[in-house]
A and B are shown apart, each in its own frame.
Chain A
Amino acid sequence: MKSAASLSRYALEVTDLTVAYQEKPVLWDVDLHVPEGNLMAIVGPNGAGKTTLIKAILGLIEPAAGNVLIYGKAYVEQRHLVGYVPQRGSVDWDFPTSVLDVVMMGRYGRLGWFKRPGRQERRLALDALDKVGMADYAGRQISQLSGGQQQRTFLARALVQDAQLYFMDEPFQGVDATTERAIITLLQDLRSRGKTVIAVHHDLQTVPEYFDWVTLLNVRRIGSGPVREVFTEENLRLAYGGRLAFINGQHQAAVQPDNAPAG
C-alpha cells in the first residue's frame, strides 16, 4: 500500500491520526493525502484541532494513534525536508536577540550539534530577509518589530531551512496588508518551485484566492482536496455547524465569532 502511495508523489500522507488530551479526543481518525506542489489551507472552527494536527504531524505532540509519511517515509528520516512556522504568539518577542539571529536558527538543524552559524548561514539569512522585505531590519532587536514584521521574520527563518514541505500555523494572523501581500507572493513563489505549503488559515473569504487545496477540520476530517471540490457550502456547514453566515453565493463565507467548538 505504501509503495503505491509514494509513486504518486504525495508530499504528506496522514493515516488514522488521533490525538487525545486526557480522555478527550482533539483529533479523531484523520486521513490526509496532499500531492506535492500545492498550497493547502487547514480551516475549521476554534478548537477544531488545526494547530494540534500540525504539531502531531511534526511530532511535537504524541499522537494516540496514526501514521505520518513525508514524501513516503517516516518524519524522523525526512526532517530535513520539512520547514515549520509556529504561531507568532508562541514565543517571547522580548527575548534578547536580533532578527538576523532568529532567522539563522533556521539553519541550526543542518548545522547539527555544537557547530555555530558562520558566514554562509549569515548570507542565507540575509537573502531570506531580503525575500520577505526585511533586509533593513537584520540588526534590529526583535522586541521592536511590529506583528507583521515578526511574522515575516518567522517566514524568513523557515525559508533558510530550504525545505520541500512547509507547515505554517496562522501565518496571516493579525498582520498588516503589506505583510499579507508579501506572504502571498512568497507562497506563490514556493509553489512555483515545486514546494508544498500547509497553512492553518482563519479567513474563509480568502481561501479560494490564496490556496488551491483545502482541508476542512472539526476534530474529524470533514473534507480534504482541491478547493473547487471541497470548499462547498455543505462542507463548511458541516465543519462550522450552524454558526456560518453566508454572504451571496457559495464561496463567500464568513464565520461569526465564537470560541466554543461546534457541538
Chain B
Amino acid sequence: MDFFLQLFFDYTVRTVALGAAVLGLTSGALGTFAVLRRQSLLGDAMSHAALPGVVLAFMLTGSKSPLVLMLGAAAAGILGTLLMLAITRFTRIKEDSGLGIILSVFFGFGLMLLTFLQRSPAANQAGLNTFLFGQAATLLERDVVAMAGLGGLALLVTVLFWKEFKLLSFDRDFGQSLGFPMTLLDILLTTLLVIAIVIGLQAVGVVLMSAMIVAPAAAARQWTDRLGIMVVLSAFFGALAGISGALISSLERGLSTGPVVVLAISLLVLVAFLFAGNRGLAWQWLQRRRRRRRLQLETVLSNMLKLAEQHEDLRHPHHVAVLRAMDYGRGGVLRTLAVLAERGDVVRVGEDTWSLTEKGIREARASGPRSTGDGRAGG
C-alpha cells in the first residue's frame, strides 16, 4: 500500500502516469477509426516514418523541446503518408508494398541520422534514441503539457466531427453523394491519427507506437457493437495500458517503456479475444458445445425412430452398436442415451438395447426428419 501511495504522490511518477494516460486515451480513441477503416498498417508506417523527422528537427534547431520534435515527427509522418499515396496512385505498386517501402526507407534514414548524431561531438544529442523504444521516465512536465494540449485538441475535433467521421468510415461514397467533402475529412482524420502517434513517440517509441493504435481498438471491438462505446472503451484500454506500462518501466532504470506498454495492451487483447461476450473464443466454444449436445440428442432420437419405423411396434428395442454405426462412430451415444432416458424419451430394455417411449416418439417426430449425417455441422 505504501508503495502505491508513494507512486501517486511522487511528482515524477505522477507526470509519467499523466503523460501515458494522455497518449493512451488519444491513440486508443483515434486508433478505433484507423482499425475500422483498415488502416492499421498506415499507423505503423507513420510512426516509423516519424523518426527522421524527430532527428532532423533536432539537427536543424538544436532544441529538444517537445513541440519542436513533435512538429518534426508529424511533418515526416505526413510526408511519408503522402508519398505512400503517390506511390500507389502513380505506379503499379499496391498499398501494402507502398507502406512497406515508406516504412523501411524512412526508418532506415532515421536510424542512419541517429547513429551519425551519436558519433558527432555535440553533447546534448543524448536522449534522442529514447525515441526508438520510448522512455516514459524522461517525460517532463512541459512534455506532458504539450501532449495533453495536442491530444485534447485531437479528441475535441473527433467529437465535433463525430457524425462526419462515422460516415467516412462506414460509407464514404454515400457521404460524398450527400455533399460532404470526404477527401478533406479523410485528410483531417489522418492528421488526427498523426497527432495521436506523435504524442506517444517519446514515451512508447516509433517502433512500437503502432501497437497503441491497433491493439486497444481491437480489444474494444470484441466487447461492443456500438461505435461510441468502442471509442470510449478503446481510449480506456489505451490509457490503462499506457499508465501501467509507464509505471512499471519507470521502476527499473533502463527499462524501455514501449515493450512494457505493448505487453500490457497485449494482455488486454488476449483477455478480450478469449472472454468477450459474443465474439470471445470461450463464449463461442461454449455455444458450439451446447449446440453439438442438442444436435446429438436429436440425431440419436431420430435415428431410433427411423429404426423403429422398420418394425410393427415402434417401441421395438435397438442395440447400441446399431445407433453407434448410424452416428458414424462418433461416440458419446451411450452418454446421449443416458440423458434421453433422464428426460423420459427412451428406456433401457436389455444390457445394450434401448427403446423409444411414447414421449420419445412424439419428440422425435416433432424435431423433424433429421438424417444420420446432419450432425456434422455442429462438430
Please indicate whether A and B come from the same complex rather than being unrelated chains: yes
Taking Cβ atoms with an 8 Å cutoff, the residues of A that contact B are 55, 58-60, 76, 79, 82, 84, 86, 90-92, 95-98, 102, 105, 108-109, 111, 113-117, 141, 143, 157
A95-B36, A116-B163, A117-B163 are known contacts. Are A109 and B178 too (CB-CB below 8 A)? yes
Whether A91 and B176, one on each chain, are in contact in the complex, defined by CB atoms closer than 8 angstroms, is no
B254 to chain A, nearest CB (A): 41
Residue of A nearest to B221 (CB): A96
Residue of A nearest to B231 (CB): A96
Residues from chain B with a CB closer than 8 A to the CB of A58 are 176-177
Q: Is B313 an interface residue (CB 8 A)?
A: no
Cα-based distance from A90 to B177 in the complex (angstroms): 14
Cα-based distance from A141 to B225 in the complex (angstroms): 7
Within 8 A of A (CB), among B245-264: none
Residues from chain A with a CB closer than 8 A to the CB of B225 are 96-98, 141, 143
Whether A55 and B173, one on each chain, are in contact in the complex, defined by CB atoms closer than 8 angstroms, is yes
Whether A84 and B177, one on each chain, are in contact in the complex, defined by CB atoms closer than 8 angstroms, is yes
Beyond A86-B174, A96-B230, A105-B167, 16 additional contacts (C-beta under 8 Å) are A55-B173, A58-B176, A76-B179, A79-B177, A84-B174, A86-B171, A92-B36, A92-B170, A95-B169, A96-B221, A97-B225, A98-B225, A98-B226, A108-B178, A109-B179, A114-B160
Residue of B nearest to A76 (CB): B179
Within 8 A of A (CB), among B234-254: none
Give me 18 A-to-B residue pairs in the complex whose CB atoms sit less than 8 angstroms apart, sorted by A's number.
A55-B173, A58-B176, A59-B176, A82-B177, A86-B171, A91-B170, A92-B170, A95-B227, A96-B36, A97-B227, A98-B226, A105-B170, A109-B178, A114-B160, A114-B161, A116-B163, A143-B225, A157-B174
Cα-based distance from A86 to B179 in the complex (angstroms): 15
Residues from chain B with a CB closer than 8 A to the CB of A116 are 162-163
Whether A105 and B226, one on each chain, are in contact in the complex, defined by CB atoms closer than 8 angstroms, is no
Cα-based distance from A37 to B332 in the complex (angstroms): 65
Residues from chain A with a CB closer than 8 A to the CB of B227 are 95-97
Q: Is B164 an interface residue (CB 8 A)?
A: yes
B336-364 toward A: CB 8 Å interface, digit per residue (1/0)? 00000000000000000000000000000
Whether B177 and A95, one on each chain, are in contact in the complex, defined by CB atoms closer than 8 angstroms, is no
Complex A-B, nearest 6 residue pairs according to Cβ-Cβ distance, in ascending order: A109-B178, A141-B225, A84-B177, A79-B179, A58-B177, A91-B171
B6-49 toward A: CB 8 Å interface, digit per residue (1/0)? 00000000000000000000000000000010000000000000
Cα-based distance from A82 to B166 in the complex (angstroms): 21
Whether B169 and A105, one on each chain, are in contact in the complex, defined by CB atoms closer than 8 angstroms, is no
B42-84 toward A: CB 8 Å interface, digit per residue (1/0)? 0000000000000000000000000000000000000000000
Residues from chain B with a CB closer than 8 A to the CB of A157 are 174
Residues from chain A with a CB closer than 8 A to the CB of B160 are 114
Residues from chain A with a CB closer than 8 A to the CB of B161 are 114
Residues from chain B with a CB closer than 8 A to the CB of A95 are 36, 169-170, 227
Cα-based distance from A108 to B171 in the complex (angstroms): 12
Residues from chain B with a CB closer than 8 A to the CB of A84 are 173-174, 177
Q: Is B280 an interface residue (CB 8 A)?
A: no
From A76, A79, A92, A97, B178 is in contact (CB under 8 Å) with A79
Whether A86 and B221, one on each chain, are in contact in the complex, defined by CB atoms closer than 8 angstroms, is no
Whether B173 and A86, one on each chain, are in contact in the complex, defined by CB atoms closer than 8 angstroms, is yes
B34 to chain A, nearest CB (A): 14
B17 to chain A, nearest CB (A): 30
Q: Is B108 an interface residue (CB 8 A)?
A: no
Residues from chain B with a CB closer than 8 A to the CB of A108 are 163-164, 167, 175, 178, 180
Cα-based distance from A167 to B176 in the complex (angstroms): 14
Q: Is B138 an interface residue (CB 8 A)?
A: no
Cα-based distance from A102 to B164 in the complex (angstroms): 13
Residue of A nearest to B161 (CB): A114
Residues from chain A with a CB closer than 8 A to the CB of B173 are 55, 60, 84, 86, 90
Q: Is B125 an interface residue (CB 8 A)?
A: no
